[in-house]
Structures are given as structure tokens and as C-alpha cells.
């Protein structure tokens, strides 16, 4: 996939893309700020998504791995979105962040490591374009097997998470 210019023009993000096994980008537009977007995106977990996490546990067991319980999206507000590298954001650890510009976090497992990033591009009239970036690096033979099995669901889940990110919070 061709990575949008808004992402590659940020020098801090270039090493993230090097030697990646999979990169995809979802693009949404809205009027929220970066922190509100990240809080809403990470907190998105309807029942059907919890069901997919249950199926994921079965798949991991079949590949000889384990999942420690069913994951829940972190409950955070824009003010509590972690911006400091090394901070926890639910199942992710913040790798890098810059206020109103980008936010990148990682999750590492035995079979792969994945980065989830958000890049903000300001538009006219208070609107912003959000690029939701997924970068995956495989470990061992189980990484590509696992990711290729979940790939269709990955696109659905990340697309829905991005859409949830731009929804204006109640009262906002």
C-alpha cells in the first residue's frame, strides 16, 4: 500500500514503516481533536467486537499461544489519553506522540508486533483528517499465518474504530 504523504512527511514516523510486513491506513474526517479521537477510538468495543476477541482466543490456542482473558477497550477521556512514551494505553504502550500532530502505540506478542498510529492533518473550518495507521511485523511462522487469518476482520475493526473516533462525544 502507498502510505499517504501526511504520514511519510513526519520524520519521526519513517523508522516505524521500515521493514514492515504489513501497513494499512484508514482515513476519516471530523471536527474532534487528536486526544478526543484516540480516546473514542480505543474505547470503541461493541458486543460483536468482544465476540471477535473470543474467536481470537480460539485461534491463538490452535496456534499454540494463549490470550489472557477477553480484552476491553480502555476507558479514557481526552485529558487522560497517555502522550508520554512508555505509558500504557490499554493493550498498547505509547511509542511516540506529539500534541495535535500524531500518536503511536505498540502491542507486542510472541507471533507479531503491531503499531497503531493516528496522524492529524488540519483542514479548513475546524475540520481534521485522521489517518489511522496499522504497521505489523511478524515473528516466527505463526505471525503471517495468524495475521492473514484475521486480516478481513482487522480491516472491519480498525475502520469502525476510526469512525468511532470522529463521532462527537455526547454533550460536545
- Confidence (pLDDT) at 130: 98
User: For 50-94, how does the pLDDT look when each residue is reduced to its tens digit (9 = 90+)?
Assistant: 666 666 666 666 666 665 555 655 678 999 999 999 999 988 999
Regarding predicted confidence, which is higher, 19 or 68? 19
If residue 172 lies in a helix (H) or strand (E), which one and from where to where?
A: none
Do 6 and 110 meet the contact criterion of CB atoms below 8 Å apart?
Answer: no
Please tell me the distance from the alpha carbon of residue 121 to that of residue 119, in angstroms, as a whole number.
Answer: 7
Mean pLDDT, residues 143-159 taken together: 84
Q: Which residue's C-alpha cell is 478526543? A: 36
- Confidence (pLDDT) at 80: 94
- Confidence (pLDDT) at 71: 60
The reported pTM is 0.85
Q: Which domains does the chain carry?
A: 20-165 (3.30.530)
Amino acid at each position: 500500500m502507498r502510505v499517504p504523504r501526511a504520514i511519510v512527511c513526519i520524520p519521526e514516523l519513517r523508522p516505524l514503516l521500515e521493514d514492515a510486513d504489513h501497513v494499512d491506513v484508514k482515513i476519516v474526517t471530523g471536527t474532534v481533536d487528536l486526544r478526543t479521537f484516540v480516546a473514542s477510538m480505543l474505547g470503541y468495543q461493541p458486543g460483536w467486537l468482544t465476540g471477535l476477541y473470543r474467536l481470537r482466543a480460539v485461534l491463538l490456542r490452535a496456534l499454540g499461544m494463549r490470550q489472557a482473558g477477553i480484552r476491553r477497550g480502555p476507558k479514557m477521556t481526552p485529558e487522560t489519553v497517555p502522550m508520554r512514551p512508555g505509558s500504557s494505553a490499554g493493550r498498547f504502550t505509547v511509542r511516540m506522540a506529539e500534541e495535535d500532530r500524531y500518536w503511536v502505540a505498540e502491542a507486542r506478542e510472541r507471533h507479531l508486533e503491531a503499531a497503531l498510529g493516528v496522524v492529524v492533518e488540519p483542514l479548513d473550518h475546524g475540520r481534521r483528517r485522521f489517518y489511522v495507521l496499522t504497521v505489523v511485523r511478524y515473528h516466527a511462522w505463526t505471525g503471517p499465518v495468524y495475521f492473514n487469518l484475521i486480516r478481513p476482520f482487522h480491516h472491519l475493526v480498525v475502520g469502525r474504530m476510526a469512525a468511532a473516533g470522529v463521532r462527537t462525544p455526547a454533550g460536545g
